[in-house]
Structure formats: structure tokens, C-alpha cells
Amino acid sequence: MSLLLYENHEFTVFKIADKLDQDNYEEVFAAVQDCIERRKYKIAFDLSQINYINSTGLKLFLETVKALKGKAGEKFCLFGLTPAVKNILDKNKITTVIKNIYLSKDEFEIDVDDSVGDSNQLLDEMND
């Protein structure tokens, strides 16, 4: 497994290659907890290189949602879903719990850009 963290707008993005299961759950969740401790409450997972995910990987998403709950400005997103990963998320009803799911990185970035634009417009209106 390869884990890459990078910043995209206000999000910390976790890019995981190959698989998400019991073999890498602890490493990835420790990195998620570290983000939260540093008050980085906008977290996204890029799943474009995931070939395999099991129930432990799905648990990681649910635990992340739970850890972020109630934090100011929190937002959790998944993007870059392959058809196989999307099918697993649908079958396990994860898509009913996690609302910010994007098939591609482009969709994610468009939504993030729109949110940032809305925030900037709101600030401009407050300053007028």
C-alpha cells in the first residue's frame, strides 16, 4: 500500500494505492486522527487507485465521519471512484451515510471551487 497526503484547497486529501483493508487500516486512520488533532476538519479520500476494498476499509470511512462529527467546518468527501468501488459502496449503503461522493477528481474540484467562491462572496457581502 502506498499512502500520499496532499492539500487541495482547504482539504487534506488521502490518496491510497492498491487496497484499503485490515493491512493498512491502522496506518491510514492514525493519519486521519493526526489531521483532526491539527484541526484540519476537511478530509477527502482519492480512491482512483484502489483495486480492492473490504469491510475494514468501509469502516475507515465511517470512523472518519464519526471523528469529524461536530467539528466546526467539517466536511468529508470521497472521489475518484472506480465502478467496482462504487458498487461496493452502494451495496453496503455507504452512499446513504456519506453524501459528498464524486466519481471523478474534476467533479470534486468543481464542487470545492464553488464552495470557496460562495464563501468569498458571503465575506464580501458582510464587509459591504
Residue-wise pLDDT for 97-117, tens only, equals 998 999 999 999 888 876 544
pTM: 0.85
User: What would the pLDDT profile of 64-82 be if each residue is shown by its tens digit?
Assistant: 999 999 999 999 999 999 9
> Residue 115's pLDDT is what?
59
**Mean pLDDT, all residues of the chain:** 87
> Residue 117's pLDDT is what?
40
Q: Report whether pLDDT(90) > 70.
A: yes
List the CATH code of the domain at 2-127: 3.30.750.24
Q: Helices (H), strands (E): how many in the chain?
A: 4, 6
Number of C-alpha atoms within 13 angstroms, CB side, residue 101? 18
Contact 23, 3 (CB under 8 A): no
